[in-house]
Amino acid sequence: VDKSSQRLTIAIQKSGRLSTESIALLQACGFRFSLHEARLLAHSSNQPVDLLRVRDDDIPGLVMDGVVDLGLVGENVLEEVRLERKATNISYDFTRLRALEFGQCRLSIAVPKEDNYQGLADLQGKRIATTYPYLLQNYLQQQGISASNAILTGSVEVAPRAGLADAICDLVSTGATLEANGLIEKEVIFRSQAQLIQRPGSLPAAKQAIVDQLLPRIDGVQMAKE
Ligand code: PRT
Ligand code: ZN
């Protein structure tokens, strides 16, 4: 990415739960894109705007490091990366521009349904499988619980049955995945939806003008959906 470019660069998830709605929102705001499956970068044909299509986990860092101008990402990933960078002394500044009305989910602690769970104190000294170690430990610390993490990048819901952990901390939307794995949701630790974020520092005037045009359009699109 050429940082001196006057084209506004927006990072979105390449393929996953946020991709379709991210592109649909930008298109509804008037940006035209032709997306080629294999390409990392997609140029708008009617605006000086480029889309960078990456893993969602990379979006907060790209924004915080000023590599891209804007990003659309789940608040769960954003907050996890912010806590991780804070703990490891890496800059974690960004500006939140809008909460977007898609990608809703919650990060919850769940336990096997045969457990006689009475409350958080039952997790003291236990091992909890998660993909979100910073959000989990941040929450447990606030609640005065000390538990260890089993960090997995996928299939968190099978960890208790596999004997890898006593409980899990994972994203939930309908609850079907927990149900299918014999788990019950006990504590909601974080509620999330997609967010539009901007890199720290001021943007060159030409880019700022596009952002100034984009925000009221997003508000209009979101209002029309209500
Ligand atoms: O490849 P990449 O790293 O970009 O994608 P990913 O696999 O990490 O992410 P992806 O596409 O699964 O999710 C992207 C974002 O969508 C998440 O960071 C959340 O902000 C949001 N989101 C909303 C969800 C869910 N709902 C969701 N239900 N992300 C994941 N899930 C998973 C959850 O992990 C569990 O496995 O769906 C399962 C639970 O769903 P229910 O409906 O059975 O409860
Ligand atoms: Zn991811």
Instruction: Give the start-to-end residue ranges of the domains of the chain.
Output: 8-103+193-225, 105-191
Mean pLDDT of the chain: 96
Q: Which atom of ligand 1 is nearest to the CA of 170?
A: 34
* Fold held by 8-103+193-225: D-Maltodextrin-Binding Protein; domain 2 (3.40.190)
Average pLDDT over every residue of 63-68: 98
Q: What is the DSSP letter of 57?
A: G
pLDDT of residue 4: 56
Closest residue CA from atom 5 of ligand 1: 16
Read off the pTM. 0.96
Q: What is the CATH number of domain 105-191?
A: 3.40.190.10
Closest residue by Cα to residue 16 from 81, 63, 74, 65: 74
Average pLDDT over every residue of 95-119: 98
β-strand partners of 52: 11, 41
Where does residue 196 rank: exposed (0-12), middle (13-18), buried (19+ CB within 10 A)? Answer: buried
Phi, psi of 82 (to 5 degrees): -60, -45
Where does residue 75 rank: exposed (0-12), middle (13-18), buried (19+ CB within 10 A)? Answer: buried
Residue whose entry in the numeric block shows the structure tokens 């001021």: 202
Dihedral angle of Cα 184, 190, 192, 197, to the nearest 10 degrees: -150
Ligand 1 site, CB within 6 A: 13, 16-18, 55-57, 74, 76-77, 103, 105, 170-177, 192
The two structure tokens encoding residue 138: 């941040």
Closest residue CA from atom 17 of ligand 1: 74
- Residue 1 CA, chain-centre distance (Å), reads 22
For residue range 146-194, what is the model confidence (pLDDT) as tens digits?
A: 999 999 999 999 999 999 999 999 999 999 999 999 999 999 999 999 9
How close is the Cα of 17 to the center of ligand 1, in Å?
A: 6
pLDDT of residue 35: 80
Can 8-103+193-225 and 105-191 be said to share one CATH topology?
yes
How close is the Cα of 197 to the center of ligand 2, in Å?
A: 17
**Measured distance CA(148)–CA(183) in Å, rounded:** 19
Ligand sitting nearest the alpha carbon of 171: 1
Percentage of the chain lying above the pLDDT 90 cut? 93
3 state DSSP class of 188: strand
